[in-house]
Amino acid sequence: MKSHKTFTITALSMATLAIYLFVSAPPPLEEKKGEMHTIPIEVALKVMQQQNDVARALYTREIVGQGKKRGIKFDEHWDDEEIKAGPLPAQFLRLTAESLERSPVQLGLFLGSDFAINRANTFEGQQLEMFHKVKQTRQPNFFYVGDAQRYAYMAPDVASSKPCVTCHNKHDETPKDDWKLDDVMGAATWTHPKQEIGYKEMLEMVNALRGGFKEAYTTFLEEAKQMDTTPSIGNRWPRDGFYLPDADTFMLRLNWRSSEKTLRTLISTTQSEKKVPQLLAQGEVD
């Protein structure tokens, strides 16, 4: 495996990053030599997980949690024709992952568990072994998947809300019915084939991921429009009443909250000599 270079960000590059991350419709990026060295893929995937943390918290707490209090419906079988309801948080993430699969970026996302209700989401082999470490340490794990020839960043998915725990425990097909708050219920795994990427490619990944969030949320809004009583859709949130923010309002808040985390991560990494850990992989990897 080749050694990886520490990266630095110039003031100009940081300004470009800030504009791109905080502006809702940024102009196309141009790669300029000397503005930034390559970014370790571990750092880039960590940024993706931070974006996801913000999106999932926003949807879970301010849309699903507050929405249910106002009478807006959410259901595991939201996509059944006869059910008029929005997707649950885990399904929101799966819609995002499906959007990423259709995008040109080489970014993979898999939400799995050792006790998944949907057996297709059960970790196996090396991923199961790595998940056991994540479950024990409650910290992200970065590793190389030799069979797939991809780098992976696995982050714990912690039970942070009582409705989520109750839903899993009472589900007819659950393989585990004693989940508790703060349990590590699963993990989100991000994958990419390269060991390091340029900042333009990383921001294209951010853009594709945010596009996935917007597509997933827009899908929910289309379902909401079919409900027996349709919430008012605009610039107000469920905490204010029987309202839902439109897609642009939702994304504006999401982008603002996640962009600060991204910039902090990049700045803190440039200030250290952080390197990609030595990974247990078969053979030399370019």
Q: Reduce the secondary structure of 120-188 to three states and give it as a string.
A: HHECCHHHHHHHHHHHHHCCCEEEEECCCCEEEEEEEEECCCHHHHHHHHHCCCCCCCCCCCCCEEEEE
Number of domains in the chain: 1
Give the residues across from 244 on adjacent strands: 233
Tokens of 153: 């960043």
Beta-sheet pairing, 184-192 with 196-197 = unpaired
- Residue of 207, 216, 209, 195 lying closest to 153 (CA atoms): 195
- On whether residue 284 sits in a domain, the answer given is no
Tokens of 175: 């393989």
pLDDT of residue 28: 57
- Look at residue 219 and tell me if it is in a domain: yes
Range of the domain at 223: 11-270
Torsional sign, CA 124, 125, 129, 130: negative
Residue 213 falls inside a structural domain? yes
Q: Cα(134)–Cα(155) distance, rounded to whole angstroms? A: 7
Residue 195 falls within a domain, yes or no? yes
Determine which helix (DSSP H) or strand (DSSP E) holds 64, and give its type and residue range.
none
CA–CA gap between residue 172 and residue 199 (Å, rounded): 46
Residue 166: per-residue pLDDT: 82
Does residue 277 sit within a domain?
Answer: no
Number of H helices, E strands in the chain: 8, 8
Which residue(s) pair with 131 in the sheet?
Answer: none
Per-residue pLDDT tens digits of the chain, which is 286 residues long: 444 444 444 444 555 565 556 655 555 555 554 445 678 999 999 999 999 999 999 999 999 999 999 999 999 889 998 999 999 998 999 999 999 999 999 999 999 999 988 888 898 999 999 999 999 999 999 999 988 899 999 999 998 777 778 888 888 888 999 989 889 999 999 999 999 998 889 889 999 999 999 999 999 999 999 999 999 999 999 999 999 999 999 999 999 898 888 877 777 765 543 443 444 343 333 3
- Whether 124 and 265 have beta carbons less than 8 Å apart is answered as no
How many CA atoms lie within 13 Å of 230's alpha carbon, on the beta-carbon side?
10
What is the end-to-end Cα distance of the chain in Å, rounded?
A: 6
- Please give the structure tokens belonging to residue 127: 């991923």
